């Protein structure tokens, strides 16, 4: 991995590559791309991911509950 700084020696020399890296992996047009992001962006992103995880958990629960309700409707 290169750090993204044009002046950094890691751009030219593989041995000079260093960490840590904050990488944002995502799928764009069916292809995976990685984007280097700053520490602040990384923190912000982590919060969004946390919120999304919570939201997805709630959604999954809502689906289960609605399925139970639907089943009960059919059984009566």
**Window 3-62: residues binding Zn ion (CB under 5 A):** 3, 8, 10
Q: Binding-site residue total for Zn ion (CB under 5 A)?
A: 3
Instruction: Identify which of residues 8 and 37 has a Cβ nearer to Zn ion in the complex.
Output: 8
Helix (H) / strand (E) containing 31: strand 31-36
Least Cβ distance, residue 18 to Zn ion (angstroms)? 6
Contact 14, 8 (CB under 8 A): no
Q: How many CA atoms lie within 13 A of 63 on its CB side?
A: 6
**Token match 């409707």: residue?**
73
Complex with Zn ion: residue 19 or 30, whichever CB lies closer:
19
Please report, as ranges, the residues that interact with Zn ion according to CB under 5 A. 3, 8, 10
């Amino acid at each position: 991995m290169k750090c993204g700084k044009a002046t950094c020696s890691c751009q030219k020399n593989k041995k000079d590559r260093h960490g840590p890296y904050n990488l944002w992996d995502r799928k764009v047009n069916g292809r995976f791309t990685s984007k280097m992001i700053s520490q602040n962006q990384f923190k912000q992103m982590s919060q969004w991911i946390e919120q999304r995880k919570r939201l997805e958990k709630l959604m999954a629960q809502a689906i289960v509950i609605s399925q139970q309700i639907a089943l009960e409707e059919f059984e009566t």
